Amino acid sequence: MIATENLPRQAGTTLTLEEIARLADVSRSTVSRVINDDPNVRPATRERIWQIIKAHDYYPNPAARALAERRSRVIGLVIPQALNAIFADPYFPSLIQSCAAACDERGYYLMLSLVLRQSDDTFRWLIRARHMDGLIVASALTEDVFVTRLLDERFPFVLIGRRSERPDIPTIDADNEHGAYLAAQHLVQLGYTRIATITGPLNMVAALDRRDGFLCGLQAMGIETPAAYIQEGDWSEWSARQGMERLLQATPRPEAVFVASDNMALGALKAIQAAGLRTPEDIAVVGFDDIPAAATTDPPLTTVHQPIEQLGHLAAATLIDLLEMAPASADGAHAQHIVLPTELIVRMSCGQALRPSATQRAAARNLSDEGGVKYRSLISAALTG
Amino acid sequence: MIATENLPRQAGTTLTLEEIARLADVSRSTVSRVINDDPNVRPATRERIWQIIKAHDYYPNPAARALAERRSRVIGLVIPQALNAIFADPYFPSLIQSCAAACDERGYYLMLSLVLRQSDDTFRWLIRARHMDGLIVASALTEDVFVTRLLDERFPFVLIGRRSERPDIPTIDADNEHGAYLAAQHLVQLGYTRIATITGPLNMVAALDRRDGFLCGLQAMGIETPAAYIQEGDWSEWSARQGMERLLQATPRPEAVFVASDNMALGALKAIQAAGLRTPEDIAVVGFDDIPAAATTDPPLTTVHQPIEQLGHLAAATLIDLLEMAPASADGAHAQHIVLPTELIVRMSCGQALRPSATQRAAARNLSDEGGVKYRSLISAALTG
DNA sequence: ATGAAAGCGCTAACAA
DNA sequence: TTGTTAGCGCTTTCAT
């Protein structure tokens, strides 16, 4: 033991618990306890064992662990959309990043599950094989067989986005409806009356919520919206560009437009520019998301901020809570529904900013830096689509 | 047995090999043989067991398998770049998609490894824990500690991109140098003489190869390139836009520019348009990659096609071959270096197309549809940077 | 062609 | 506080 204890670890070699135990002159169990932070280990022993573990760069075999513990500590992030779409919208990098970070904090690993083919095989791999302990499902459609099957199989998951007809599914969502409402209010207060919108794909809940919140806001302020003023996009820049081109041909031409995502707003701005018009002089634009690019468009984009990072963080944390809960209490029926606030960020794309919203915004940011804990218990009533 | 055999599988339930064996009235071993396609099973027995497996939607426990087999059948795809950068360039979705498909074919699973933090922890998780059997490393830098450590640990991996100074690393690469050479040739043949380039980040091998191949091509045709005609970008659209703005201010203004990626070419086109100039009348543009968007720009982009899908497919296949090889023969020293051909796709962004290249291209496509097998044995000599 | 038995490296009662 | 002992669900010799 004395001789081997200080040997540098060998490249390509993998030690076992057993060997660490031998080096430390204790039993497997004790080493296992140290690794799993079991309090029942004398501090001195614990310390000594840690030294040895570090010296040898020992890492417990994940397969063996998973087999014995009956869980893999891997959770999946499923984005049931075309890969192109995922990559096209800067919303997703933030989401992925934050989910991954949250998993990390809790000793889990995030696995991106490309649902390439909606085929049965993928599903079996994902669910039946129990390769992962749980799933975060992002951007679900209003009708999603995937979600249905997860429920059938009693597979643990949380949904990013809401699903009011299934109160037994835990969901994390931004307050899309209210955010869109704020956008409507803003435009009306600036004096616009001919107001249009480019929506997301209307088979997605978030797109519906944003549309409805917006129209509801207009209505509340006494503004009518003709059908020609509502164009459907698919979150892609290109689709919004085309939508905007159609809007520009409507008569009378709208004075302002709410675009349901910043990424799409980028396309809308281009269409406006390509038509030889200016923003906001000829047509005002308000977006949704507050992606980084929104601050640097020309003109800087007024938009609705949604806390993407928190969304991801909370989704992961909620799922892990669920997984680590006693199986009895994990049984649905009273799942959490978290709704995170959205807020209007006034920049330049809607005409003169009427309020000193910069300070407002800074204050809000400070609060949200607390990391989502404050929202943990924010159980929402189901919003009406 | 008769009673239970036709029971529908229970939701949330996971059968074991043992139980399947009991249902089939055979031993564990036999079921295991069926699952692993061992020929030593009487066809009738095999058939009967498959029936039962399917009827119960049985799936072997991956952790148990991994533990017994000492491999996980999971391989990682590492893209050592900022997540934003990955998502910004449509090159990556194709790459990921094709790697995943190739893994699928061989019964492996592709795990995207976000190297979020270059911290030691991630590395340990990735390498020491042996959570995966091997790694595909994409877009490596010219100097990359990551690669060095993989070598130190004797961890199996293949590199997408070349690395001439380390002939013991298996690499898959597109012929960047030759592709760029072709672009240079094309421009010169069209009669341009003031020719500039916007490069990728010069700490990346692919960026260097494209620059050098291009400059080499110009030189071969007797064209000089002043330093002001070489602008460095970072693969982002935005960086290229800025690069192009600088080029437009050079005197004399270049008549043509080779942009080292299509994604960047998009930015370059915008800068040209924003300056009130036209492509190709005022300035010709040739890109690299042949991403889908290249066909639909205004004007459609002349570019160098690289077979991204094949690149990914081959990378995965090569790695899996490596993993399944006898450990003895897997030892480096004579690793494969595959270089896939690139070709010029002439569209509209360089002025009149002089050749009927469409037919040429179609022919090449038919060949490449064979799925990479033909390249499997294409061992290249190292190219000179 | 099939079965029995011995692990793979860990966790988790249960003893001590 | 620590060690002993059974598994976890599979693969893989080795017999038969």
Is the same domain home to B273 and B334? no
* B69 located within any domain: no
CA dist., res. A259 & res. A267, Å (int): 10
Residues 6 or more apart in contact with residue B78 via CB below 8 angstroms: B113, B115, B126, B135, B136, B137, B138, B146
- In chain B, what residues touch A67 (CB-CB under 8 Å)? 61, 63-64, 67
* A274 located within any domain: yes
* pLDDT tens column, A136-183: 998 777 777 888 888 888 899 999 988 777 888 899 999 999 999 999
* A65 located within any domain: no
- In chain A, what residues touch B63 (CB-CB under 8 Å)? 63-64, 66-67, 72
**CB of A114 within 8 Å of any CB in chain B?**
yes
Reply yes or no on whether the pLDDT at A374 is more than 70.
Answer: no
Q: What mean pLDDT do residues B181-208 have?
A: 95
Which nucleotide's C1' is closest to A45 (Cα)? D1
A77 touches A136 (CB < 8 A): yes
Which strand (E) or helix (H) includes residue B134?
Answer: strand B134-138
Contact check, Cβ <8 Å, B11/A96: no
Is the same domain home to B153 and B281? no
Contact check, Cβ <8 Å, B114/A96: yes
Is the same domain home to B184 and B288? yes
pTM: 0.82
- The pLDDT confidence band at residue A355, using thresholds 50, 70 and 90, is very low
Q: Is B239 or B1 the better-scoring residue by pLDDT?
A: B239
Name the percent of chain B lying above pLDDT 70.
82
Number of domains in chain A: 4
CA Rg, chain B, in Å? 25
Nucleic strand D near CB of residue A24 (< 7 Å): no
- The pLDDT confidence band at residue A206, using thresholds 50, 70 and 90, is very high
Distances in Å between the alpha carbon of A25 and those of A14, A29, A36, A45, A195?
A: 19, 12, 18, 10, 76
- The pLDDT confidence band at residue B352, using thresholds 50, 70 and 90, is low
Reply yes or no on whether the pLDDT at B337 is more than 70.
Answer: yes
Check residue B330 and give its pLDDT.
54
CA dist., res. B140 & res. B206, Å (int): 9
- Give the rounded distance of the alpha carbon of B231 from its chain centre: 25
Check residue A83 and give its pLDDT.
66
- The pLDDT confidence band at residue B333, using thresholds 50, 70 and 90, is low
- The pLDDT confidence band at residue B357, using thresholds 50, 70 and 90, is very low
Provide long-range contacts, Cβ within 8 A and 24+ apart, for A18-26: A20/A49, A20/A52, A20/A53, A20/A56, A20/A58, A23/A52, A23/A56, A24/A48, A24/A49, A24/A52, A25/A1
- The sign of the CA dihedral A177, A182, A183, A187 is positive
Q: Is B120 or B39 the better-scoring residue by pLDDT?
A: B39
Contact check, Cβ <8 Å, B130/A12: no
Q: What mean pLDDT do residues A52-80 have?
A: 93
- The pLDDT confidence band at residue A385, using thresholds 50, 70 and 90, is very low
Q: What's the token pair of residue B115?
A: 């190297």
CA dist., res. B124 & res. A59, Å (int): 8
Min Cα separation A45/chain B (Å)? 24
Count of Cβ atoms closer than 10 Å to residue B377 Cβ: 8
- Domain with B37 in it: what CATH number? 1.10.260.40
* pLDDT tens column, B299-326: 999 999 999 999 999 999 999 999 998 6
State yes or no: cis peptide before B252, omega within 30 of 0. Answer: yes
* A69 located within any domain: no
CA dist., res. A68 & res. A130, Å (int): 14
Residues 6 or more apart in contact with residue A349 via CB below 8 angstroms: A269, A279, A280, A284, A285, A286, A287, A297, A299, A300, A301, A302
Is the same domain home to B373 and B294? no
Check residue B238 and give its pLDDT.
85
CA dist., res. B304 & res. B285, Å (int): 11
Which strand (E) or helix (H) includes residue B160?
Answer: strand B157-160
Nucleic strand D near CB of residue B32 (< 7 Å): yes
**CB of A152 within 8 Å of any CB in chain B?**
yes
Least confident of A181-190, A232-241, B372-381: B372-381
- In chain A, what residues touch B93 (CB-CB under 8 Å)? 83-84, 86-87
Q: What mean pLDDT do residues B172-190 have?
A: 97
Region of residue B290 (phi > 0: left; psi between -120 and 50: alpha; otherwise: beta):
left
Residues 6 or more apart in contact with residue B343 via CB below 8 angstroms: B179, B182, B304, B305, B360, B361, B364
Contact check, Cβ <8 Å, B116/A97: yes
Cα angle B30, B106, B92 (rounded to 5 degrees) comes to 150
Is the same domain home to B143 and B196? no
- The pLDDT confidence band at residue A332, using thresholds 50, 70 and 90, is low
* A330 located within any domain: yes
Is the same domain home to A362 and A285? no
Contact check, Cβ <8 Å, A154/B11: yes
Side chain identity at residue B314, one-letter code: L
Q: What mean pLDDT do residues A35-63 have?
A: 95
Name the percent of chain A lying above pLDDT 70.
81
Check residue B370 and give its pLDDT.
32
- DSSP codes joined into one string, B198-233: EE--TTBHHHHHHHHHHHHHHHHTT----GGGEEE-
- The pLDDT confidence band at residue A336, using thresholds 50, 70 and 90, is confident
- The pLDDT confidence band at residue A212, using thresholds 50, 70 and 90, is very high
Check residue B195 and give its pLDDT.
97
Reply yes or no on whether the pLDDT at A358 is more than 50.
Answer: no
**CB of B116 within 8 Å of any CB in chain A?**
yes
DSSP structural state of residue A381: P
A51 touches A31 (CB < 8 A): no
* pLDDT tens column, B201-221: 998 899 999 999 999 999 999
Q: Is B292 or A47 the better-scoring residue by pLDDT?
A: A47
Nucleic strand D near CB of residue B68 (< 7 Å): yes
Check residue B123 and give its pLDDT.
73
Name the residue of chain A whose CA is nearest to B238's CA: A293
Check residue A136 and give its pLDDT.
95
Least confident of A105-109, A332-336, B168-172: A332-336
Q: In angstroms, how far is C14 C1' from B13 CA?
A: 28
CB < 7 A from strand C, the residues are A 14, 16-18, 28-29, 32, 35-36, 60-61, 64-65, 67-69; B 25-30, 33, 39-42, 45-46, 64, 67-68, 70
Is the same domain home to B349 and B360? no
Check residue B119 and give its pLDDT.
61
Is the same domain home to B79 and B153? yes
Reply yes or no on whether the pLDDT at A283 is more than 90.
Answer: yes
Give the closest residue to B90 by CA, choosing from B306, B367, B363: B306
Is the same domain home to A47 and A129? no
Q: What mean pLDDT do residues B113-126 have?
A: 66
A95 touches A160 (CB < 8 A): yes
Residues 6 or more apart in contact with residue B72 via CB below 8 angstroms: A62, A63, B62, B66, B130, B131, B132, B133
* B68 located within any domain: no
Contact check, Cβ <8 Å, B93/A84: yes
* A14 located within any domain: yes
* pLDDT tens column, B28-85: 999 999 999 999 999 999 999 999 999 999 999 999 999 999 999 999 998 877 666 7
Please give the protein residue whose CA is closest to the C1' of the nucleotide C11.
A68
- In chain A, what residues touch B298 (CB-CB under 8 Å)? none
CA dist., res. A160 & res. A139, Å (int): 6
Is the same domain home to B201 and B218? yes
3-state secondary structure of B7: coil
- DSSP codes joined into one string, A279-348: TTTT-EEEEEE--GGGGGSSSPPEEEE--HHHHHHHHHHHHHHHHHS-HHHHSSSS--EEEE--EEE--S
Name the residue of chain A whose CA is nearest to B57's CA: A128
Which strand (E) or helix (H) includes residue A113?
Answer: strand A109-113
Range of the domain at B35: 4-60
Is the same domain home to B221 and B349? yes
Please give the protein residue whose CA is closest to the C1' of the nucleotide D9.
B64
Q: Which of A9, A17, A56, A87 to mutate: most B Cβ within 10 Å? A: A87
- Domain with B283 in it: what CATH number? 3.40.50.2300
Count of Cβ atoms closer than 10 Å to residue B33 Cβ: 18
Nearest to A87 among B67, B92, B155 (CB): B92
- What is chain A's mean pLDDT, rounded? 83
Check residue B129 and give its pLDDT.
82
* pLDDT tens column, A249-275: 999 999 999 999 999 999 999 999 989
Is the same domain home to A216 and A322? no
* B67 located within any domain: no
- The pLDDT confidence band at residue B2, using thresholds 50, 70 and 90, is very low
3-state secondary structure of B343: strand
| C-alpha dihedral (B26, B28, B34, B38), degrees to nearest 10 | -110
Reply yes or no on whether the pLDDT at B139 is more than 90.
Answer: no
